[in-house]
Amino acid sequence: MSTAPSVFSKIISGELPGRFVYRDETVAAFLTIEPVTYGHTLVVPVEEVDKWTDADPSLWAHLNEVAQYVGKAIVDEFDAPRAGYLIAGFEVPHAHIHVFPAADMSGYNLANALGMNDTDADEMDAAAEKIRAGLRAQGVTGVAGGSVGDAAGDSGGDSGE
């Protein structure tokens, strides 16, 4: 197993860019660069954990709490019938939860994801802002300011407004 930081760790640390929607001391959520649809978000522990089954139960509970907030924001802001939730974990050795707008089961096929060069940057930015707005509407603390430079989230325990 490699000891090099995962691509997610590089995004979380700011070494690689990311469109963050949430960040606290233990969990980060950012848009994937290869979405099944706009709004496809990854909820990731800050600490590298390869398999979700190896995560500390309290960390895993918090990841799911954040995934639920993101899912509600997606349903509300994208007018989606459902928020998809998927754990795969074969491509990046860093546990993560996929949360995305879902109209039917076809959205669960990650093989149908857009390539990183097939997404529209403005649509990706707009999708991230919609999720942030949905999180703020729920009163969630830790809503990220946007780009990697703003990934630390809100301070002072407020919703960022």
Would you list the domain boundaries of the chain?
A: 7-150
pLDDT class for 156, splitting at 50, 70, 90? very low
Q: pLDDT higher for 143 or 152?
A: 143
Q: What is the mean pLDDT of residues 18-31?
A: 97
Least confident of 45-54, 90-99, 103-112, 115-124: 103-112
Q: pLDDT higher for 151 or 76?
A: 76
Q: pLDDT higher for 113 or 72?
A: 72
> What pLDDT, on the 0 to 100 scale, is given for residue 31?
97
Q: What is the mean pLDDT of residues 84-113?
A: 91
Average pLDDT, the chain: 88
pLDDT class for 88, splitting at 50, 70, 90? confident
User: Does 62 score more than 50 pLDDT?
Assistant: yes
The C-alpha atoms of residue 21 and residue 83 are separated, in whole angstroms, by 16
> What pLDDT, on the 0 to 100 scale, is given for residue 116?
83
| DSSP label at residue 101 | E
User: Does 2 score more than 70 pLDDT?
Assistant: no
Of 40, 62, 94, 96, which one is the catalytic site residue? 96
96 is catalytic: yes
pLDDT class for 145, splitting at 50, 70, 90? confident
Q: What is the mean pLDDT of residues 28-40?
A: 96
> What pLDDT, on the 0 to 100 scale, is given for residue 152?
42
CATH fold group of domain 7-150? HIT family, subunit A (3.30.428)
